[in-house]
A and B are shown apart, each in its own frame.
Chain A
Amino acid sequence: MKFKDTDIQSLIGQVLRGGMIVSMSIVFLGGILFMYRHGHSIPDYKEFKGIPRFLQTPGSLVNAAIIFKGQAIIQLGIILLIATPILRVVFSTIGFALEKDYLYVGISLLVLLIIFASMMSGHAG
């Protein structure tokens, strides 16, 4: 089957929209849970202190989400939201490969490499 630009455009459009809808639904759900439990606390964003420990590692994040901690669920939704454009690049790469456009397979992989480097660099320092 010959893949045209239009097929790939359509797929990418769906990935973007789908990713956004799913992640926003998760954020919304988490938001409701968060407000339910913490609605009457005092917000404290005046000083930069990072984020609570349980939100910092994937393991504790998932565990917290399972027990319905709103903030954890929101954070997972946010992570999915951030992943959506990255996923789009992955699909673009596949699309270019199917079109046998190897120059752009290379270019998209380079972009993914840079994003990966960015992920790793966050740990440094």
Chain B
Amino acid sequence: MSVIFFTLIILIGSYFAGLLGSLTGLGGGVVIIPLLTLLLNVDIHYAIGASLVSVIATSSGSAAAYVKEGITNMRLGMFLEIATTAGAMCGAILAIYIPTHYIAILFGVILLMSALLSLRKKAEQIITEKSYLAEKLKLNSSYPTANGTVNYSVRKVGGGFVMMIFAGTISGLLGIGSGALKVIAMDTIMRIPFKVSTTTSNFMIGVTASASAVVYLQRGYISPGLVMPVVIGVLFGAFTGSKILVHTKSSGWLRWVFAIVVSFLAGQMIYNGITGKI
């Protein structure tokens, strides 16, 4: 097939990846990599490079909106970015040395985990007891809601920090945003309100991805002819998704569809990794 045809397929595929990713909060990267490696036989290094760049694009675009609204906790994000960027750097370096079939298998496992996690019921508990570390680091804050400003505190700062190192490493290794892992760290471990954890996670994803992208750039993982349609497609898809999201209520069934599709792709990645096809 020609470059034009190839690029067109990727554009369309990336568009749907971005669309589905933004509607379900799972991110486009998780679909892009299987799409490129399984369907188009692209080497996994080029695929994770392209995916990572698209993650930066969508993160920057959406984070801009949430920061302005004052929901994102910038200090929390900044503090946790120490962990995520350090992890991302390690992950990117590991990616150079780990054989590709292990990367494929790990990718499939993380993908499966993300799919299952996205189906969890979210029980929100806003805590107000003060933690010493959270106070010292000025992490406790508030965010605006329809009913006025809500104050919240942060706890288990250390635990959240460690989880973030892991999230960053996975992001750097697999070329994904690791939004699901970041949200677990903030939501479950640090007990931060859901809206704040998702917007702050989004905010952090960009810098985390950049920390590993600079390594990818030097290693030649980022191929412009491939990245171009991916990043354009995903961005438009994510943009469309965000517009739809504003107008619809709950995306329960869509989340199930996505979880099933993603689980299938995860299985394929693991299978291909094990049989050495990737």
Chain A residues within 8 Å of B, Cβ to Cβ: 5-6, 8-10, 12-14, 16-17, 19-20, 23-24, 27-28, 30-31, 34-35, 38-43, 45-51, 55-56, 70-72, 74-75, 78-79, 81-86, 88-89, 92, 101, 103-104, 107-108, 110-111, 114-115, 117-119, 121-123, 125
Contacts and interface: CB of A to CB of B under 8 A. Distances in A.
Contact of A118 (B79, B81, B82, B88): B88
A79 B209 CA distance: 12
Contacts of B206: 16, 84-85, 88
Contact of B228 (A17, A27, A55, A119): A27
Contact of B3 (A14, A24, A40): A40
B78 A92 contact: yes
B41 interface: yes
Contacts of B197: none
Interface stretch (B110-118, B120-128, B216-224): B216-224
Dominant secondary structure of chain B at its interface with chain A: helix
Interface residues of B, number: 66
Given A20-B64, A118-B89, A82 B210 contact: yes
B19 to A, nearest CB: 17
B214 A45 contact: no
B7 A9 contact: no
B216 to A, nearest CB: 8
A20 B232 contact: no
Given A85-B59, A111-B81, A125 B96 contact: yes
A112 B104 CA distance: 30
A122 B218 contact: yes
Given A17-B60, A81-B56, A118-B212, A46 B81 contact: no
- Among all A-B residue pairs, the 8 with the closest Cβ atoms: A50-B220, A122-B218, A85-B206, A74-B224, A118-B89, A17-B64, A16-B64, A13-B68
Contacts of B180: none
Given A84-B60, A88-B207, 17 more contacts: A6-B70, A13-B63, A23-B57, A24-B235, A27-B228, A27-B232, A35-B4, A39-B3, A39-B4, A42-B3, A45-B223, A50-B219, A50-B220, A81-B53, A89-B81, A118-B215, A125-B96
B232 A82 contact: no
B232 A107 contact: no
Among A5, A19, A24, A31, the most chain B Cβ lie within 10 Å of the Cβ of A31
A23 B225 CA distance: 15
Contacts of A92: 74, 78
